[in-house]
């Protein structure tokens, strides 16, 4: 069954998504956390993890193996639901392997090809995040990459889950789900847009108008 994560570090957005009952995790990155101007990065991430009670991806800043592993261990100690975001680099894969051996879940981010996803899965990543919108931006087929990764993982029996990221609009959500993404992480704006359809609004208005006529003639 496909799952939705929110791609945000905004507490109000996360609360609303949880209230709607459709969100089971959160992904963050340094840019999203910086927008919130939180006094403490670690405290902010921990607060999100406690709220969500599901996977919360927090990204390392270091680019070398030892730095990434050190940061990952600290982030992982904040809450049992923290997942470490590691970039798709050579050092990133070395760090992923070390963390996987320690039982620390990794979400390999900035994935743009099936080959990169395959490397991440072989290194022991719990999740891989292909960036759909950014691929579309340069004229490539972002959803096609998700589809190819899903085929690869199915053929070879990988347990690694696909998180479709860089989602720009509701159509991306539908297409990523059909392409085989296990999880779709989407901005709050896109989640809100998914509720909307003009025929729904027209239908509600008609029901209320008909009910108003009934009440006038018969009472409640």
Active-site residue (options: 3, 46, 85, 98): 85
Residue 143 has pLDDT above 80, yes or no: yes
| Percent of the residues in the chain that have a pLDDT greater than 70, as a whole number | 100
Q: Could you read off the pLDDT of 115-130 as tens digits, one per residue? A: 999 999 999 999 999 9
Whether the CB-CB separation of 48 and 81 falls below 8 Å is answered with no
Split at pLDDT 50, 70, 90, the class of 154 is very high
Mean pLDDT of the chain: 95
What CA–CA distance (Å, rounded) separates 76 from 80? 7
What CA–CA distance (Å, rounded) separates 145 from 64? 27
In CATH, the architecture of 3-194 is Alpha-Beta Barrel (3.20)
Nearest-Å Rg of the Cα atoms of the chain is 20
Split at pLDDT 50, 70, 90, the class of 31 is confident
What CA–CA distance (Å, rounded) separates 199 from 215? 24
SS3 per-residue string spanning 99-138: HHHCCCCEEEEEECCHHHHHHHHHHCCCEEEEEHHHHHHC
In the prediction, which pLDDT does 165 show? 98
**Which residue is it, tokens 């996977």?**
55
In the prediction, which pLDDT does 58 show? 96
- pTM of this structure: 0.94
Task: For the chain, give every domain's residue range.
Answer: 3-194
Active site residue 206: no
Residues with Cβ within 8 Å of residue 172, at least 6 apart in sequence: 132, 133, 142, 143, 164, 186, 190
Residue 88 has pLDDT above 90, yes or no: yes
Which residues face 83 on adjacent strands? Answer: 57
Q: Could you read off the pLDDT of 175-220 as tens digits, one per residue? A: 999 999 999 999 999 999 999 999 998 998 988 888 888 788 887 7
Mean of the pLDDT values across residues 160-174? 98
- Both structure tokens of 172: 């991306």
Split at pLDDT 50, 70, 90, the class of 38 is confident
Per mean pLDDT, which range of 31-35, 103-107, 171-175 is the poorest? 31-35
């Amino acid at each position: 069954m496909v799952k939705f994560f929110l791609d945000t570090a905004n507490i109000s957005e996360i609360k609303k998504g949880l209230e709607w009952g459709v969100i089971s995790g959160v992904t963050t990155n340094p840019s999203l956390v910086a927008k919130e101007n939180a006094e403490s990065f670690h405290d902010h991430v921990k607060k999100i993890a406690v709220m969500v009670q599901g996977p919360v991806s927090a990204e390392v800043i270091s680019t070398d193996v030892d730095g990434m592993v050190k940061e990952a261990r600290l982030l992982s100690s904040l809450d049992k639901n923290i997942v470490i975001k590691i970039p798709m680099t050579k050092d990133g894969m070395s760090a992923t392997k070390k963390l996987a051996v320690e039982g620390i879940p990794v979400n390999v981010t900035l994935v743009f090809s099936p080959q990169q996803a395959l490397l991440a899965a072989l290194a022991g990543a719990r999740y891989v995040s292909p960036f759909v919108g950014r691929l579309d931006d340069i004229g490539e087929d972002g959803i096609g990459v998700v589809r190819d990764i899903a085929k690869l993982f199915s053929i070879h029996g990988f347990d690694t889950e696909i998180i479709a990221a860089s989602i720009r609009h509701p159509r991306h959500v539908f297409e990523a789900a059909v392409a085989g993404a296990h999880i779709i992480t989407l901005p709050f704006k896109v989640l809100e847009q998914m509720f909307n359809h003009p025929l729904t609004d027209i239908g509600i208005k008609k029901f209320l108008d008909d009910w108003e006529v009934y009440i006038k003639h018969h009472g409640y």
